[in-house]
Amino acid sequence: MTTAHVFIAISLDGYIARSDGDIDWLLQRDDPTEDHGYNDFIADKDVIVMGRGSYEKVSSFDPWPYDRPVVVLSRQLAGTPVPEALQGKVRFTGASPRELMDSLAGEGVRRIYLDGGQVVQSFLREGLVEDMVITTAPVLIGSGRPLFGTLASDVDLVLVSSRSFPSGLVQSTYRVRQQ
Ligand SMILES: NC(=O)c1ccc[n+]([C@@H]2O[C@H](COP(=O)([O-])OP(=O)(O)OC[C@H]3O[C@@H](n4cnc5c(N)ncnc54)[C@H](OP(=O)(O)O)[C@@H]3O)[C@@H](O)[C@H]2O)c1
């Protein structure tokens, strides 16, 4: 069985990016002297799964920031060629969340890092998220791309741990209580 794990940062008012995708408000508050636990988090993840929105942002980063295989969920990109520089590192799929999890399980993938607001929302709606590490930045940005969205029914969470950093970031880890 493959499980999905979220590690993401939000503004206090719940956005992961401005409407145009900008994350300046987050990068400004990233104190490189603080260890926010990303390396520990990624250490036991086999594959990174992200939505097209997140891929469009990270594909502009140089160098490519991931040393794990990346699967991009996108109906638009599915069937199109991966840019040459990312071949062997990235694949595109138009699969549904459940189809993707089943096919990754078939490949022997045990744990995925799930990234992107809309994609996290879809996986939550399907009951496919195991836990979430959410780092809240002390800023209100007023509007943007939300981490969470509408649900058919409540999603119950168990607070596993919470900690704060001198920079003002507050990080909470939640386990999703499966219905
Ligand atoms: N603050 C943080 O820690 C953090 C983390 C990650 C990303 N970000 C930022 O957030 C922005 C991207 O997030 P986002 O919420 O806009 O997009 P996203 O979740 O990364 O991608 C959404 C896109 O994925 C595709 N998709 C395919 N299957 C899907 C499914 N089952 N459910 C939902 N989407 C599916 C759709 O594109 P198609 O039309 O191609 O199917 C959809 O438009 C970027 O600006 C990025 O920089 C911030």
CA gap 50, 47 in Å, rounded: 10
Sort residue 116 into left (φ over 0), alpha (ψ -120 to 50) or beta: left
What's the CA-to-centroid distance between 120 and ligand 1, angstroms? 8
Residue of 20, 38, 118, 143 to mutate, ligand 1, most atoms within 8 A of C-beta:
118
Cβ atoms of 52 and 77 within 8 Å: the answer is: yes
Contact 70, 47 (CB under 8 A): yes
Pocket lining: 45 vs ligand 1, CB cutoff 6 Å: no
User: Residue 178: pLDDT above 90?
Assistant: no
Tens of pLDDT, residue by residue over 114-132, are 999 999 999 999 999 999 9
Ligand 1 nearest atom to the CA of residue 20, by list position: 45
Closest ligand 1 atom number to CA of residue 16: 1
133 within ligand 1 shell (Cβ under 6 A): no
Instruction: For the chain, give the mean pLDDT.
Output: 97
Residue 148 confidence class, pLDDT cut points 50, 70, 90? very high
Predicted local confidence at residue 25, as pLDDT: 98
pLDDT of res. 179: 75
Q: How far apart are CA 77 and CA 67, in angstroms?
A: 22
CATH of the domain at 55: 3.40.430.10
Is 137 touching ligand 1 by the criterion CB < 6 Å?
no
The closest of 128, 115, 126, 20 to 72, measured between CA atoms, is 115
For residue 120, give the ligand 1 atom closest to its CA. 19
* Res. 75 pLDDT band, cuts 50 70 90: very high
Split into its structural domains, the chain has a count of 1
* Atom 26 of ligand 1, residue of closest alpha carbon: 74
User: Domain range spanning residue 79?
Assistant: 3-176
b vs e for 113-142, b when ≥16 Cβ sit within 10 Å of the residue's Cβ? bbbbbbbbbbbbbeebbbbbbbbbbebebe
- CB of 45 closer than 8 Å to CB of 5: yes
Please give the Cα distance from 169 to 31 (Å, whole number): 10
Q: Is the CB of 119 under 6 A from ligand 1?
A: yes
